[in-house]
Amino acid sequence: METQAPRRSPWAAQALLALDREGRYRDTCGLDLRLTRAFGFCQGVQVAVARATRAAEELAALGKPASERPRLFMTGEIIHNPRTNERLAEAGVTILPQGNGLGRLAVVRPHDWVIAPAFGITAAEEAELERIGCRVIDTTCGWVRRIWQAVRTFSEDGLTTVIHGKVEHEETRATASRVAGAFVIVRNLTETQALAAAIRRAPLSPDGPRFADTFSGKCSPGFDPEHDLVRLGLVNQTTMLSSETEAIGEILRRAVDASPAEGHFRMLDTLCPATQKRQDAVRELLAGGALDAFIVVGGFRSSNTAHLAGLGVGRVPTYHVEDAACLVSRDEIRHLPPGGHEAAVSRGWMPPAPCTVGVSAGASTPQSEIEGFWLRLIALYRGEVP
């Protein structure tokens, strides 16, 4: 799908200038486009992508055939944005296969270069790369490292670490690997309530799931609920919803207070400031009311983008799209449904003009993709593209 054509339209420059300066553009077609005051790439993502790009350029500048220079690997996606990862692949970066534990690093040789993404890598992977002796380009976000330090402190103080995060997310796996003692991962309030019941030593419902079933694969080896749920420390994956982390902290604090054991609870705010700023900006835009639709632009695998979209669900028709191409037509939109794992196509998404559409973008969404989305949205309302 051609998404660059609108940039050549007479109104495009005026629209981009207004959106950049004022965060709002009102078109003669009746579309009132409003942006959140914060959106798109955060500093940590900018640094990570720049370092990876620079490494690829440095190798290319050697002037040697690809077969005679170090290979450039990445342990996983640099960020959860498909176009960014595709551009790095085009520059010569190879993403290592996922799964198979440390076996996936077997292809790496001492003369190769390996990029550790913004989410970080596990302690075991870090040690294995050091053993291999390859060059590591570490792009781990500074806020992720702050969490690693927090969980080390928890372990030193004899606390069990509770991580509010997604067990399948690279950042949460990397953080869990830094815990020297016991840990357990909770994804949401439902799992937190199950954990709170175990903390209070509440009797299990005969029809309900056992602790071992609920937290299978989500806690440290040999985790003992009776012993390991007395002294707790809570941190969160940097991209989680701040209000949910606060609610989880309150639930756990009350459970510890109600426990028959002499417990202790400590909570550290490890949410990335950029994530918080974007969430607050979405809340602010939604609180202003008058929106006929709210659209968030970002990779479908992007946790922070999904949480931004989640703030609009139930308040206004909300869509999480990956890029401009997801605006298939004036009738169809390709989006990730709330809580979904696969994209879907919905019809009748476009509010009739005059209307007001709010737009935001995740911290891993490049400005070029955001602008391309704005312009296609406006062009659809103007009837200039199919």
Q: Annotated active-site positions, please?
A: 171
Q: Backbone phi, then psi, for 316, in 5-degree steps?
A: -160, 150
Rounded to whole angstroms, the Cα distance separating 204 from 210 reads: 7
For residue 271, CA distances in Å to 79, 226, 239, 274, 282 come to 17, 29, 7, 8, 16
Surface-to-core class of residue 88, CB atoms within 10 Å of its CB (0-12 exposed, 13-18 middle, 19+ buried): buried
Rounded to whole angstroms, the Cα distance separating 254 from 241 reads: 20
Q: Are 321 and 345 in contact (CB under 8 A)?
A: no
β-bridge pairing 231-236 and 93-95: unpaired
Helix and strand counts by DSSP (H, E) for the chain: 13, 15
Rounded to whole angstroms, the Cα distance separating 386 from 379 reads: 9
Q: Are 265 and 256 in contact (CB under 8 A)?
A: yes
The amino acid present at 207, given as its one-letter code, is: D
Rounded to whole angstroms, the Cα distance separating 168 from 25 reads: 39
- Token pair for 55: 């490494």
* Torsion, Cα of 214, 184, 249, 202 (10° steps): 50
Q: Which helix (H) or strand (E) holds 21?
A: helix 12-22
Q: Are 79 and 49 in contact (CB under 8 A)?
A: yes
Q: Are 32 and 356 in contact (CB under 8 A)?
A: yes
